[in-house]
Amino acid sequence: MVVTDLLTSDKSPEGLILSVIKDNPNVSTKQIYNKITKQGISIRYHKVYEKVQDMVKRDVLVKTEKNYALNDVWVKRTTTFMETIQIKQMKNSENGLFFGVNNIQKVELLTFNSFNEYADYIRMVRNRVLNDETNSEKTICWICNHIIISLLNMQERMNTVKKFHKDKIKYYSLVRGNDKLDEFMLDFNKKLGINTMKIGFPDRDRADIAIYGDTLLYAIYPVGVIEAIEEFYRNNNGMSDIAKITTALDEISKVYVVVIREPKLVETYKKFIISQFN
């Protein structure tokens, strides 16, 4: 599978730039602009320039002298996720999780330079859903190794859950971990009135999967960091040891998040997660 074939079907400025660079590696901003406008698309040069610089900062592109090319690391990480979906599509039966999802078009890749940046982004997306008065059906779903963000800020978690109850927001969480701190978070959430959380969920994937409204986030951590976090959870039994997890989190220099806004895929994932509580 060529990952950029999926990413470039979106006609946003970033999609247009990717569509040029995938077929014309090592091109200048001016060349990118000319190839886009030759397609009859109206776009300002300054907009192309700004977006190219943004994509360099997010490690989507790399600069070679005055020209630009796709970042191989970015392509490999995104391709891994897309190929996983494609394999599941081919292997699953009519009742399979990805059956009928033939084309994934609205995809974006974000790169965060620390765990804190990633956590701030999650909060922003969550708050957007919580404060969206135009959508009466608000559902938040997670599949993750451990609930780290809430563990690091218990007061914020209590305030968020109050908002869930007040606005009748549905929350479901499947946690792969089954250690003492996972048990602690399960009990803590039950005391707050959240009964749709399970730990010990059998799943070989190691990425965070989150659904906020119509958006699916797939967050990829470096393998070494995942192993460090798992070691922390295995060897620490209570909140008195919580400060030690910052050592593992401080090792995170990159978190890659695939953002998917493909209604059928998002709805399929959502139904699968919710079905685990029926």
Give the domains, in start order, of the chain with CATH numbers: 1-102 (1.10.10.10), 107-275 (3.30.870.10)
Radius of gyration of the chain (CA): 20
pLDDT confidence bin for 77, thresholds 50/70/90: low
pLDDT confidence bin for 186, thresholds 50/70/90: very high
> What is the value of pTM for the model shown?
0.65
Summary mean pLDDT of the chain: 79
235 CB-near residues (< 8 Å, 6+ apart): none
Residue pair 208/174 in contact (Cβ under 8 Å)? The answer is no
216 CB-near residues (< 8 Å, 6+ apart): 209, 210, 259, 260, 261, 262, 265, 266, 269
The pLDDT score that the predictor gives to residue 127 is 83
Long-range contacts for 93-98 (Cβ within 8 Å, ≥24 apart)?
Answer: 97/268, 97/269, 97/272, 98/265, 98/268
With residue 116 as reference, give the H or E element that holds it: helix 115-130
Residue pair 227/161 in contact (Cβ under 8 Å)? The answer is no
Instruction: Count Cβ neighbours within 10 Å for each residue of 54-79 and write b for 16 or more, e otherwise.
Output: ebeebbbbbeeeebbebbeebbebbb
Strand 170-175: give its sheet, edge to edge. 107-112, 255-260, 215-220, 208-212, 139-144, 170-175, 197-199
User: CA-to-CA distance for 53 and 103, rounded, in angstroms?
Assistant: 29
Q: Is 216 helix (H, G, I), strand (E, B) or coil?
A: strand
The pLDDT score that the predictor gives to residue 79 is 59
pLDDT digits (tens, 9 = 90+) for 149-177: 888 888 888 998 998 888 888 999 999 99
The pLDDT score that the predictor gives to residue 85 is 52
The pLDDT score that the predictor gives to residue 34 is 94
User: CA-to-CA distance for 246 and 238, rounded, in angstroms?
Assistant: 15
pLDDT(101) > 90? no
pLDDT digits (tens, 9 = 90+) for 205-222: 778 899 988 888 988 877
User: CA-to-CA distance for 113 and 127, rounded, in angstroms?
Assistant: 21
130 class by beta-carbon count within 10 Å (0-12 exposed, 13-18 middle, 19+ buried)? middle
User: CA-to-CA distance for 52 and 60, rounded, in angstroms?
Assistant: 9
Residue pair 202/171 in contact (Cβ under 8 Å)? The answer is no
pLDDT(47) > 50? yes
Residue pair 140/165 in contact (Cβ under 8 Å)? The answer is no
